[in-house]
Amino acid sequence: MVRNRKGRIAVAMSGGVDSSMAAALLVEEGYEVIGLTMVLSSPEASGAPSPASGAPGGGMASRVAAHLGIQHYWIHLHQTFQREIVDHFVTEYQKGRTPSPCLRCNERIKFGRLLEKAEELGAAALATGHYARTLWDRGSDRYLLLRGIDPGKDQSYFLSLLKQEQLKKAHFPLGAKTKAEIRLEAKRRGLPVADQEESQEICFIPDGDYRRFLESRLGGSIGTPGDIVDLQGNRLGRHQGLYSYTIGQRRGLRLPGPRPHYVLALDPATNRLIAGFEEELRRSELIVSAVNWFPFPELKKPVEAWVQIRYRHKAGPAVIFPLEGDRVRVRFQDPQRSVTPGQAAVFYQGDRVLGGGWIEKAL
């Protein structure tokens, strides 16, 4: 984070209202702002300038940049994004897991490769339109991550894997504002994106049909049909390929009975789908790996926290126990519904993010 002086700062500009307002606020604060837009598909498909051109780009982000009087550049990250995010997304589904690509993208692409490009262009920090806050803690000599003040828009969950060196260079101008305030301020400034609707889909699957996307990547098939069984191993029916399902799913099972069945687990090793009733979805414990901590480098003793297992999940009270390596065991006070391997578990104390990692399995 840039402190005590105004210097050059880069803003990751998607062409949406949040990143546009992040740039506008920083210009008004006196920073020398440059806008960077990631090209995540091939240049031919995106219509962006070629990497060799080095020229400011077009599109909505460039319109906003022109409105603000700042330079704007296309940053071509197609190959890195395909390898680190898209290929990983497909592989996770093949393993029977449900990935969360936005967290991985923030760690490896936005505050990874894009931050590197920003520094090459002379920027000391990279700002985004995330609703989150940072804090330098003198006592621990570490950078902390805090929730954004708008409870309906807080995006700290998606930033929970950022390392100290990344958080040091991260800037979140919207963290102390609400979405409603940002909309009003965008209109007042006459930004061309003021009334733009938000996108809720995965950026590389704009129609939201991840099954069709997987079929296209896996050669027209997303798995071999197999048995649906209950927790005791009794056969209940047939599934159409494990990659079509996720934990907690109800639709598509087509199982007879007076009560609806839900997906409890996926077992790629045996190609079986384990189904059961809603009360069987709840789990009291889970194992989390690759945990990243903010207030301290590692967990040395059990700690109480509120744990969030999905972005829109209401965090539940739990105790976190250290395990060997970068793993922990989370024990909830009350069982939680649909604990899903591949998603992130993020730990909070009040507004402060203690850390987060990947859910390995429910117990």
- Specify the pLDDT at position 3: 45
Q: Are strands 71-76 and 235-239 parallel, antiparallel or unpaired?
A: unpaired
| Residues 22-48, mean pLDDT to the nearest whole number | 86
How many percent of the chain have pLDDT more than 90?
A: 82
Tokens of 14: 């998607």
Whether 105 is a known active-site residue: answer yes
- Specify the pLDDT at position 219: 78
Picking from 36, 34, 20, 27, the residue whose alpha carbon sits closest to that of residue 6 is 27
Residues 59 and 20: their CA atoms lie apart, in Å, by 13
List the catalytic residue out of 121, 203, 205, 255. Answer: 203
| Residues 132-139, mean pLDDT to the nearest whole number | 96
Does the pLDDT value for residue 57 go beyond 50? no
pTM of the entire predicted model:
0.92
* Distance, C-alpha 292 to centroid of its chain: 14
- Specify the pLDDT at position 77: 96
- Specify the pLDDT at position 2: 42
Does the pLDDT value for residue 22 go beyond 50? yes
- Specify the pLDDT at position 290: 98
CATH number assigned to the domain with residue range 283-362, chosen from the 4 options 3.40.50.1100, 2.40.30.10, 3.60.15.30, 2.40.50.100: 2.40.30.10
pLDDT band at 194, cuts 50/70/90?
A: confident
| Residues 159-180, mean pLDDT to the nearest whole number | 98
Does the pLDDT value for residue 262 go beyond 90? yes
Classify domain 224-276 at the CATH class level: mainly beta
| Residues 251-264, mean pLDDT to the nearest whole number | 93
Q: Per CATH, which fold does 8-188 belong to?
A: Rossmann fold (3.40.50)
| Residues 141-163, mean pLDDT to the nearest whole number | 97
Does the pLDDT value for residue 44 go beyond 70? no
List the catalytic residue out of 24, 33, 36, 105. Answer: 105
| Residues 232-236, mean pLDDT to the nearest whole number | 96
pLDDT band at 133, cuts 50/70/90?
A: very high
Tokens of 211: 């099954």
CB-side neighbour CA atoms (13 Å) of 180: 4
How many percent of the chain have pLDDT more than 70?
A: 93
Check residues 273 and 206 and name the one with the higher pLDDT: 273
Whether 102 is a known active-site residue: answer no
* Distance, C-alpha 178 to centroid of its chain: 20
Picking from 173, 172, 131, 137, the residue whose alpha carbon sits closest to that of residue 149 is 131
- Specify the pLDDT at position 211: 84
Contacts of 143 (CB under 8 A, 6+ apart): 1, 134, 135, 136, 137, 164, 167, 168, 294
- Specify the pLDDT at position 84: 97
- Specify the pLDDT at position 209: 87
Is residue 248 helix, strand or coil? coil
Q: Where are the domains of the chain?
A: 8-188, 224-276, 283-362
- What is the average pLDDT value for the chain, to the nearest integer? 92
